[in-house]
Structure 1
Amino acid sequence: MHTRRSLLLATGLAATAMLTACATSPSPSFAERPPIVFMHGNGDSAALWQTTIWRFESNGWPRERLFALDQPYPLARDDDAVAQPGRSSTTDSAVFLKAQVERVLKATGADKVVLIGNSRGGNTIRNYVQNGGGAAVVSHVVLGGNPAHGIWAVKGLRENNEFSGLSGFMQQLNAPKGPNGEEVTPGVKWLTLRSDNNDKYAQPDGLWIGSPGQPTNIGYDGPALKGATNLVLPGVDHRETSFSPAAFAATWQFLTGAAPRSTAIAPEAQVVLDGRAIGAENLALNGGKVTVYAVDPATGARRGEAVHGKNIGADGRWGPFAARGDTAYEFVLSAAGYGTTHIYRSPFPRSSAIVNLRPERLTPADASAKAVVVFTRPRGYFDAQRDTMRFDGQSPPAGVPPRGSGVSSSRLRLPAAEPQRAVTGEFNGERITGLTWPAAQEHVTVLELTY
Structure 2
Amino acid sequence: MPRRRELLAATTTTLLLAACATPTSPRMQEMPPIVFVHGNGDSASIWQSTLWRFESNGWPRERLHAIDVPYPLAREDDARAQPGRTSTAEHMAFLRDEVQKVLQATGARQVVLVANSRGGYAVRNYIQNGGGDRVVSHAILGGTPNHGVWSLPDYLPGSEFNGTGPFLKALNAPKNTAGDEVAGPVKWMTIRSDSNDKFAQPDGVWIGRRGQPTNVTFAGPELKGATNVVIPRIDHRETSFSPAAFEAMHRFITGRAPSAAITPEALVSLSGKITGLGVSSTDPASGSFSNNLPLPGARLEVFAIDPATGGRRGAPVHVQTVGADGRWGPFRADGRERYEFVVTAPGYATTHVYRSPFPRSTALLNLRPERIAETDKAAPALAILNRPRGYLDPTRDRMAFDGQTPPPGALPGAGVSSSRLRPAGAPRTIAAEFNGERVVGRTWPVAENRVTVLELTY
- One fold, TM greater than 0.5? yes
CA distance 1:181–1:450, shift in 2 (3 Å): same
- Give, as a single letter, the amino acid of the residue that structure 2 aligns with 1:273: L
Give the conservation status (yes or no) of the 8 Å contact 2:127–2:184: no
Query: In 2, Cα distance between the equivalents of 1:127 and 1:440?
Result: 48
- The range that moved more, 362-371 or 165-174, is 362-371
Q: How does 1:399-410 map to 2 (within 5 A)?
A: 399-401=409-411, 403-410=412-419
Q: Does 1:326 align with 2:336?
A: yes
Query: In 1, Cα distance between the equivalents of 2:210 and 2:254?
Result: 42
Aligned to 1:387: 397
Aligned to 1:397: 407
Aligned to 1:61: 59
Aligned to 1:271: 268
Aligned-pair distance for 1:8? 12
Residue-pair matches, total: 438
Aligned-pair distance for 1:370? 1.2
Q: Does 1:254 align with 2:255?
A: no
RMSD over aligned CA atoms reads: 1.4
TM-score (norm 2): 0.94
Aligned to 1:152: 150
Match for residue 358 of structure 1 among 360, 368, 372? 368
Aligned to 1:4: none
Give the conservation status (yes or no) of the 8 Å contact 2:392–2:418: yes
After superposition, the C-alpha distances for 1:389-429 in whole angstroms (9 at most, x for unaligned) are: 0000100000012x210000000013x4x321011000000
Query: In 2, Cα distance between the equivalents of 1:391 and 1:311?
Result: 32
Three-state SS of the structure 1 residue aligned to 2:14 is helix
After superposition, the C-alpha distances for 1:268-289 in whole angstroms (9 at most, x for unaligned) are: 0000011100122100011111
Three-state SS of the structure 2 residue aligned to 1:190 is strand
Three-state SS of the structure 1 residue aligned to 2:62 is helix
CA distance 1:397–1:219, shift in 2 (3 Å): same
Aligned to 1:19: 20
After superposition, the C-alpha distances for 1:148-207 in whole angstroms (9 at most, x for unaligned) are: 011000121001001000110110000000232210102000000000000000000011
Query: In 2, Cα distance between the equivalents of 1:46 and 1:28?
Result: 26
Q: How does 1:435-446 map to 2 (within 5 A)?
A: 435-446=442-453
Aligned-pair distance for 1:259? 0.8
Give the conservation status (yes or no) of the 8 Å contact 2:153–2:165: no
Aligned-pair distance for 1:218? 0.2
Query: In 1, Cα distance between the equivalents of 2:13 and 2:352?
Result: 34
Three-state SS of the structure 2 residue aligned to 1:383 is coil
Aligned-pair distance for 1:10? 4.9
Aligned to 1:303: 313
Three-state SS of the structure 2 residue aligned to 1:253 is helix
Give the conservation status (yes or no) of the 8 Å contact 2:235–2:391: yes
Aligned to 1:342: 352
Q: Does 1:110 align with 2:108?
A: yes
Three-state SS of the structure 2 residue aligned to 1:319 is strand
Match for residue 161 of structure 2 among 160, 163, 168? 163
Aligned to 1:70: 68
Give the conservation status (yes or no) of the 8 Å contact 1:13–1:249: no
Query: In 2, Cα distance between the equivalents of 1:248 and 1:399?
Result: 29
Query: In 2, Cα distance between the equivalents of 1:153 and 1:208?
Result: 14
After superposition, the C-alpha distances for 1:121-162 in whole angstroms (9 at most, x for unaligned) are: 001110111111111110000000000011000121001001
Q: Does 1:312 align with 2:322?
A: yes
- Give, as a single letter, the amino acid of the residue that structure 2 aligns with 1:31: Q
Question: Unaligned stretches of 5+ in structure 1?
Answer: 1-6
- Give, as a single letter, the amino acid of the residue that structure 2 aligns with 1:346: S
Match for residue 431 of structure 1 among 429, 438, 451? 438
Q: Does 1:199 align with 2:197?
A: yes
Aligned-pair distance for 1:31? 3.0
- Give, as a single letter, the amino acid of the residue that structure 2 aligns with 1:44: D
Query: In 2, Cα distance between the equivalents of 1:8 and 1:357?
Result: 38
Aligned to 1:236: 234
Query: In 1, Cα distance between the equivalents of 2:377 and 2:15?
Result: 49
Match for residue 367 of structure 1 among 348, 363, 377? 377
Match for residue 90 of structure 1 among 83, 88, 91? 88
- Give, as a single letter, the amino acid of the residue that structure 2 aligns with 1:370: P
- Give, as a single letter, the amino acid of the residue that structure 2 aligns with 1:211: R
- Give, as a single letter, the amino acid of the residue that structure 2 aligns with 1:243: F
- Give, as a single letter, the amino acid of the residue that structure 1 aligns with 2:418: S
Match for residue 37 of structure 1 among 35, 38, 50? 35
TM-score (norm 1): 0.95
Aligned to 1:3: none
Aligned-pair distance for 1:27? 1.7
CA distance 1:13–1:334, shift in 2 (3 Å): farther
